[in-house]
């Protein structure tokens, strides 16, 4: 690989080279263009990257590239999340599964990570089924850990915690997974982690990757016929390059 790009072995060993991957560039800050172009450089040994740079139309054009068949997959890059989701949700009921790596190199899948995703038992079960599909593609364990807002010993202290524990127990029972209560540190060993809700899932991702030395590979969209990897617009060039690598696999 060019430069110093690090990829977990599950990702590195499954890359399908020379696939054309589109990535969005929207200049929301002075570093946007620099980070995207550096990511393209880091990924050029394994992917043919098309930068979609259309100003206020970037999000629409990124999806049009896929509809025309001009790229195998797309990475959101620095394109605006709200705008891109708005366009996708006009036609599709989408959700996302994040691919993350801990500082000690444990790869795991996390969902929900969208603040408005994973509400209720039905949506969590759908995320689990999608997660199992993605885990199989990546050669990862398909065991499910369901998280709650506290431990069983906390029952009675707060009704929100009580409700999250009951939901986690039900989701775990139906899916064949295990309720790990609030013990995220143990849950990551299972391979698939289901957060109590999208807000806490997003906070887990940001805490791990932006404060805790973990690595992000992006979040794979499900519920659409197109192959799309979502990214935080705050990601580093290396993070965007890792998302491009993931996009060649899905």
pLDDT attached to residue 234: 87
Instruction: Give all domains of the chain, ordered by start, each with its CATH number.
Output: 1-94+223-250 (3.40.50.10950), 96-217 (3.40.718.10)
At 51 the pLDDT is: 98
Mean model confidence pLDDT for the chain: 95
Q: What is residue 1's predicted lDDT score, i.e. its pLDDT?
A: 42
- pLDDT tens column, 108-126: 999 999 888 998 999 999 9
Q: How confident is the model at residue 134 (pLDDT cuts 50, 70, 90)?
A: very high
- Overall pTM surpassing 0.85 (yes/no): yes
Q: How confident is the model at residue 131 (pLDDT cuts 50, 70, 90)?
A: very high
Q: Which residue has the tokens 């690598």?
A: 245
Residue 115 backbone phi and psi in degrees, to 5: -60, -20
Query: Beta strand pairing status for 215-222 and 228-230?
Result: antiparallel
pLDDT band (50, 70, 90) for residue 4? confident
Percent residues over pLDDT 70 in the chain: 99
Average pLDDT over residues 231-243: 95
Strands 191-194 and 107-111, by their bridges, are parallel
pLDDT at 3: 57
Closest to 22 (Cα-Cα) out of 216, 234, 226, 238 = 226
How many whole angstroms separate alpha carbon 174 and alpha carbon 49?
41
Phi, psi of 20 (to 5 degrees): -85, 125
Strands (E), 82-214: 95-101, 107-111, 143-146, 178-179, 191-194
33-37, 90-94, 156-160, 214-218: least confident range: 156-160
> Could you tell me the pLDDT band of residue 175, with boundaries at 50, 70 and 90?
very high
User: Sign of the C-alpha dihedral, residues 53, 56, 62, 65?
Assistant: negative
| CA dist 9 → 56, 59, 118, 208 (Å) | 37, 31, 29, 19
- CA 208 to CA 30: how far, in whole Å? 25
């Amino acid at each position: 690989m060019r430069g110093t790009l690090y990829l977990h072995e599950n990702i590195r060993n499954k890359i399908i080279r020379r696939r054309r991957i589109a990535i969005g560039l929207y200049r929301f800050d002075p570093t946007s263009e620099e980070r995207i172009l550096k990511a393209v450089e880091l990924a050029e040994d394994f992917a043919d990257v098309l930068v979609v740079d259309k100003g206020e139309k970037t999000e629409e054009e990124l999806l049009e590239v896929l509809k025309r068949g001009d790229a195998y997959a797309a990475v959101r890059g620095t394109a605006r999340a709200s705008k891109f989701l708005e366009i996708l949700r006009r036609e599709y009921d989408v959700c996302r599964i994040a691919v993350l790596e801990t500082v000690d190199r444990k790869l795991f899948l996390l969902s929900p990570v969208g603040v408005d995703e994973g509400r209720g038992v039905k949506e969590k079960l759908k995320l689990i089924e999608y997660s199992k599909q993605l885990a199989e593609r990546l050669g990862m364990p398909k065991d499910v850990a369901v998280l709650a807002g506290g431990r069983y010993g906390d029952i009675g202290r707060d009704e929100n915690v009580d409700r999250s524990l009951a939901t986690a127990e039900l989701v775990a029972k139906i899916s064949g997974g295990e309720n790990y209560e609030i013990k995220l540190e143990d849950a990551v060993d299972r391979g698939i982690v289901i957060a109590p809700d999208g807000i806490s899932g997003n906070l887990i991702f940001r805490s791990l990757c932006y404060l805790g030395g973990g690595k992000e590979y992006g979040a794979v969209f499900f519920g659409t016929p197109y192959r799309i990897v979502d990214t935080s617009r705050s990601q580093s060039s290396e993070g965007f390059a890792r998302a491009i690598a993931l996009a060649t696999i899905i």
